[in-house]
A and B are shown apart, each in its own frame.
Chain A
Amino acid sequence: MKSMVPVESSIVPVRPDLSVGRPDGSAVSTRGLTKRFGEKVAVNLLDLDVPGGSFFGLVGPNGAGKTTTLRLVTGLLRPDAGGACVEGIEVWRDPVAAKRAIGIVPEDLRLFERLTGMELLTYNGLLRGMPAGVVDRRTTELLEVLGLDEARDTLVVDYSHGMRKKIALAAALLHAPRVLFLDEPFEGVDPISARTIRAVLERHVLAGATVVFSSHVMEIVERMCDRVGVMHEGRLVAEGPIDEVRGGRSLEERFVELIGAATIRDGALEWLDPSSG
């Protein structure tokens, strides 16, 4: 397992050949992955390797490029340069095979809201060409395990935020993907739902799968992940086993050190003090 603390930050030439530098056993690899939106470079020549069977946390401030990276790696957004590989399959050369290995829980949770929870899961299973009997069994079990059984016939539009996260997770797990990508899975989720989601993810990793998730919550990343990548302005500024990245401090302290925290200048926001008049 390689350690890169911090990652070389200078711009390197694009290397779309993913066989170069890909360590054996990587579940996810990117080389020179780049995406621009107009003038803004959202992801900048990103080289990333996530070992198979790991619980990988991707952290970074807002706008660091985490969501864009996950969308590029899962085939939802086309990169401007570079490439991504999942379980040894190049996502943009053989998207059909790559997507079989991938499960996704996106951040914005745009779901087919006019379907019930159960209909959404079966729709997703049949989209993936799974046999109806398997879809039936797994749907029933996932709804039960995630505590959505009571709400299985309720339209998703009526689900709470936590329920939406759980139904999206169920949809992502239905085909037992080898690599699961989750974008901010714990954001806005109550502790009970978070606990359920965490238990399901841990169970999935125990079964040999790889989980990659982005998060702002450093405590969760510290508690759950064995590896972490810190993104800033479209690049990895640190990546490796979590203890090495932390370097004896808390992840939050290390994160602030790497990214830099904005400070409030003296005298600012004085009007918030009622006595200021």
Chain B
Amino acid sequence: MVGPFIRLKLRLVRNGMRGGPFRVVSFVCGALFGLQMALLGFLVLAVPYERADARAAIPVIGFTLLFVGWAMVPVIGFGLDETLDPGRLMLLPLSRGQLMRGLLAASAIGIAPAATLVGLSGAVLGYASFGIATLVVAGAVVIEFALCLVGARAVTTVASRALRSRRARDVWVIVSFLILLTLIVSLQLVRLLDGHGLMILGERLMGIMRWLPPGMLGRAIVDADSGRFGLAALQLLPGLAILVPLARWWVANVERLTTREEATTRPRMASQGRDVGATSALYPSMAAFLPRNRWGAVAAKDLRYLWREPAQRAQRLTTFLLALGAVVAVATVRSAHRPPTSLAPTAFLWWFSLMAMGQFGMDRASYWMNVAASGDPLDDLVGKNAAIALLNLPVFLVISLAVAALTDGWVYLPLTLSTGLGVLGVALGVGNVTSVRLPLPVPESPTNLWAQRTGAGFRTALIMLGVFLVSQLLVVPIAVLVLAGLYVWRPMLAVAAPASIVYGVTVYLVGGRIAARWLRGHEPELLAALGPGSG
């Protein structure tokens, strides 16, 4: 039964490369990157380590980290290959078991799965020196591989469901915050440890990993290598035992997502009970002051979208949690209690504003409404920039005030605010150019907010990396001025504040001008790039 799924996935991957050389290039680049990662993983597991403790620890740590990586990386933002959208298969007369096996087989086709399998197979070379050992090691590799595939899909599907339901979303926020808080506090504790303490901590962590299913698979490899086959076979069982329920959970959630309506959409009554004009209903309260013109309407619409669309909402929640985490980090770290720390929120604003790199992505093919309306597309860019500024500046202001209060760095607050405006200008200037020249359509899968097509994930990562680098380079002048003022010549700080604003505005204007000039003649091309099948 899995054969048709595999053939379908292969056909979809092949067809996905039609539609321009850039798609082929990004697929090939993605494959080359995957090959690098595969060889790295293969070597790590295949090398015959002389130290026994290293030889015993590598598979346990490697298998655990690989599983955590597969589960977390898609949600962080790089997406997950869903070329074969499971929601589309729900109409087929298949039992849950058939569907599960078919989807699992299809999800094993792609660059990342291939790289993972090649990497993991290094264990066969490194740890399976004879017949029965080879069987056990190969079994562990296959189970770990399946766990990675199913785990990633279970996390993204469940998270997608959570972010569509109001109650589940609240729980998601609280749980995410607690995890973040635990991580921050743990990292601070690690900083207090010396070399010996770190060693003990490492051993404790190993102790935990050894009893988690992926870690036990790693132990099974080590035990098989030492000839303890019974113990090795036993340690394969927990991985197998969680694989089936995890897959069932995943498919059950896919079914729920495709067969039930979104809980958040029905009861929405934006203007109910308010006696407002039709145009005012479009504008959220926080943006009520925006003008009733093209750019004002685009800003108001984007603000609505940034909260109403599940994928966007997920990103915004992450942003706010990170901001909160930053304040908590400053509050808990004694060494951070120095006035210059109050400049740190600038870095956060820069990071948050990088969302400007794909401003048309969430419009998708609906962007035709903007193209069909007569008007200057520069207004679209200005409106989208205004939405990003309105969303991020209040958060930035709150963090800046909180950090200034915690570090007694009030004297630096004007500089923080002005450098913040500078980096915002840089991020928007760069983002405007990439948004129109390298558009990133937001995936549109009902079952997975992080769905990507094979090869498209690498393209997204490549564009993100490029934007990071260019944006970082353009922020250097501001950073140099501030650092020179802090550590070389104090009066320079007085220059840094206004200079940052002027510089940021200049980069913003130049970027906006380049983007608008191109967009005025190429709206249909941008529309085509945002349409179905692109990305």
| Contacts between chains A and B (CB distance < 8 A), count | 129
Q: Closest residue of chain A to B522, judged by CB? A: A78
Q: How far is the CA of A157 from the CA of B444 in the complex (A)?
A: 13
- Is A223 among interface residues, defined by CB-CB distance under 8 A? no
Does A121 interact with chain B (Cβ within 8 Å)?
A: yes
User: A106 touching B278 by the CB < 8 A rule?
Assistant: no
- A37's closest neighbor in chain B, by CB? B19
Q: Once the chains bind, are B372 and A76 in contact (CB under 8 Å)?
A: yes
Hey, what's the 0/1 contact readout for B292-315 against A, CB within 8 Å counting as 1? 111011101100110011000000
Residue pair A135, B279 in contact (C-beta under 8 Å) = yes
Asked whether B369 is an interface residue with its Cβ less than 8 Å from the other chain, the reply is: yes
Residue A96 interfacial (CB < 8 Å): yes
Query: Is A126 engaged at the interface, CB distance under 8 Å to the other chain?
Result: yes
One of B1-9, B58-66, B205-213, B269-277 contacting the partner: B269-277
Q: Does chain B have a CB within 8 A of A171?
A: yes
Nearest chain B CB to A159's CB is how many angstroms away?
10
Q: Are B292 and A119 in contact (CB under 8 A)?
A: no
A102 to B375, CA, bound (A): 13
Residues of A contacting B524 with CB < 8 Å? 75-78
Please report the total number of A residues contacting B with Cβ < 8 Å: 46
Check if A127 sits within 8 Å of B278, measured CB to CB: no
Q: Is A99 an interface residue (CB 8 A)?
A: yes
The total of chain B residues at the interface (CB under 8 A) is 44
* Closest-CB distance, B281 to chain A (whole angstroms): 5
Q: B372 near A99 (CB under 8 angstroms)?
A: yes
Contact of B293 among A102, A108, A111, A129 (CB under 8 A): A129
- In contact, B365 and A155 (Cβ under 8 angstroms): no
Tell me how far the C-beta of A31 lies from the nearest C-beta in chain B, rounded to whole angstroms: 19
> Is B375 in contact with A96, judged by CB distance below 8 angstroms?
yes
Q: Which chain A residues lie closer than 8 Å to B270 at the CB level?
A: 116, 118-119, 153
The chain A residue with its CB closest to the CB of B363 is A112
The answer to whether A122 and B372 have CB atoms under 8 Å apart is no
A116 and B268 in contact, given A122-B282, A126-B293 (Cβ under 8 angstroms): yes
Partner of A122, one of B278, B363, B364: B278
Q: Would you give the shortest CB distance from B101 to chain A, in whole angstroms?
A: 29
Per the bound structure, the CA–CA distance linking A132 and B297 in Å amounts to 11
Nearest B residue (CB) for A116: B270
Could you tell me if A99 and B373 are in contact, using CB atoms closer than 8 angstroms?
Answer: yes
- Do residues A118 and B271 form an inter-chain contact, with CB atoms below 8 A? yes
Q: C-beta contact mask, A124-138 vs B, less than 8 Å → 1, else 0?
A: 111111011001100
The answer to whether B298 touches A127, judged by C-beta atoms less than 8 angstroms apart, is yes
**Docked complex Cα distance between A157 and B263 (Å):** 12
The answer on a CB contact under 8 Å between A110 and B294 is no
Alpha-carbon gap, A172 to B105, bound state (A):
46
Q: Which residue of chain A lies nearest to B272 when distances are taken between CB atoms in the complex?
A: A153
A36 within 8 A of partner (CB): no
Contact: B374 with A97, CB < 8 Å?
yes
A74 within 8 A of B: yes
Contacts of A152 in B (CB 8 A): 271
Give the distance to chain B from A78, nearest Cβ to Cβ, in Å. 5
Q: What residues of chain A lie closer than 8 Å to B525, measured between beta carbons? A: 78
Neighbour of B294 across the interface among A75, A102, A104, A129, CB < 8 A: A129
Q: From the candidates B261, B268, B282, name the one contacting A154 in the complex (CB within 8 A).
A: B268
How many Å from the CB of A160 to the closest CB on chain B? 13
Q: Decide if A126 touches B268 in the complex (CB within 8 Å).
A: no
Partner of A123, one of B265, B269, B282: B282
Q: How far apart are the CA atoms of A106 and B527 in the complex, in Å? A: 14
Which 4 pairs between the two chains have the least Cβ-Cβ distance?
A126-B297, A99-B374, A132-B292, A127-B373
Since A118-B282, A157-B265 are in contact, a sample of 10 more A-B pairs with Cβ atoms closer than 8 Å, ordered by chain A residue number, is A76-B371, A96-B375, A96-B376, A104-B372, A106-B368, A119-B301, A122-B282, A153-B268, A153-B270, A171-B369
In the complex, 9 of the A-B residue pairs with CB atoms within 8 angstroms, ordered by the A residue number, are A75-B372, A110-B365, A112-B366, A115-B304, A124-B369, A127-B298, A128-B375, A153-B271, A158-B265
